[in-house]
Amino acid sequence: MIKVRPAADRGQADRGWLHSRFTFSFAEYHDPDHMGFRALRVINEDRVAPGKGFGPHAHRDMEILTYVIEGSLLHRDSTGAQHTIRPNEIQIMSAGNGVVHSEFNASTTDPVHFFQIWILPADEDLRPGYQQIGFDPAEKEGGLRLLAAPWIKNGQCVTIHQNAFVYAAQLKSGRELTHVLDANRYSWVQMTKGSASVNSQLMQEGDGAAISEERELRIAGAPSGCEFLLFDLP
């Protein structure tokens, strides 16, 4: 079963310097029918004006992934981490028993466009942590590039405190890929650029899809191509 969450139906906030689209309930946007999917709690698509951002605020018991589409984002947190995240990188902050962090557009001239994803950890009160890796964009072309997993695979992804796997992929026109879901596994596909079909179900840019009781996903890029994130969830 594939249930599409159309981009236009998402919650939204517009504060001038910040344009946000909320796939699931977040902050002032609350819809009891859209509180998350399995361990996935938040998918926010944010566009932040040059030099603007979110001042220091707290998180607890959440695995927070940041994936930049365009621009650069400066992250500082109370674990002492300070990094700039750019496209073709993945950052995870494990909030654990408490972390305070800020995020600002690292550029004073260009906007930043990114997705922020919250996944519930398997355990509470973990030690806070921070990881960031980069990868060659060719690695996501035509196939799934693993970004996050419960364990480090060849040192090439970040670890997440949940039995969840996060992938990125880019498909040019006519390209197709498949992903096999084990029994009792679920998936969410988030289209970040362009459009595609997932088991013949059409998805446009910004759409999400909750996938249950499917054993194989066949994803085919539209003529204009596509990029997406795929979550393999317990």
Partner 1 sequence: MTAMTPVNVLVIFASRSGRTETLALAAAVGAVQARANIRLRRLPGSLASASHNEILARMQREYVPPASADAIWADAVIIAVDGKLAGVSMDSEGATAYGRQAAAATRPPML
Among 15, 60, 153, 172, binds partner 1 (CB under 8 A): 60
In whole angstroms, how close is the CB of 44 to partner 1 at the nearest point?
A: 20
The only residue of 14, 15, 51, 178 in contact with partner 1, by rule CB under 8 A: 51
CB atoms near residue 90 (< 10 Å): 24
- Tell me: does residue 97 bind partner 1 (CB under 8 A): yes
Instruction: State the distance between the two ends of the chain, measured CA to CA, in whole angstroms.
Output: 16
CB neighbourhood size of 139 (10 A):
16
How far apart are alpha carbons 141 and 91 in whole angstroms?
Answer: 20
Task: Give the one residue of 98, 134, 137, 174 binding partner 1; rule: CB under 8 A.
Answer: 98
Give 53 or 71: the residue with its C-beta nearer to partner 1: 53
Minimum distance from residue 230 beta carbon to partner 1 (Å):
32
d(CA 47, CA 70) in angstroms, rounded, equals 9
Please say which residue, 61 or 139, places its beta carbon nearer to partner 1: 61
Q: Does 6 bind partner 1 (CB under 8 A)?
A: no
Chain-centre distance of CA 133, in angstroms?
15
Our finding on whether 163 is near partner 1 (CB under 8 A) is: no
Given a contact cutoff of 8 angstroms between Cβ atoms, the answer to whether 23 and 58 are in contact is no
C-alpha distances out from residue 13 to 22, 25, 34, 123, 163, Å:
8, 12, 16, 31, 31
15 touches partner 1 (CB under 8 A): no
Q: Copy the structure tokens of residue 102.
A: 């800020």
Give the number of C-alpha atoms closer than 13 A to the C-alpha of residue 144, restricted to the C-beta side. Answer: 20
> Looking at beta carbons only, is 127 or 215 nearer to partner 1?
127
Tokens of 204: 């446009």
Q: Which of 69, 81, 100, 181 binds partner 1 (CB under 8 A)?
A: 100
Query: Pick from 184, 188, 183: which is nearest to 203 by CA?
Result: 188
Region from 30-38, 95-103, 109-117, 154-162 binding partner 1, contact rule CB under 8 A: 95-103
List 85, 99, 171, 198, residue binding partner 1 (CB under 8 A): 99
Q: What is the pairing mode between strands 82-85 and 145-149?
A: unpaired
| Residue closer to partner 1 (CB basis): 46 or 103 | 103
Taking CB under 8 A as the criterion, the residue among 104, 114, 165, 167 binding partner 1 is 104
The least CB distance from residue 76 to partner 1, in Å, is: 8
| Binding positions for partner 1, rule: CB under 8 A | 51, 53, 55-60, 78, 97-100, 102, 104
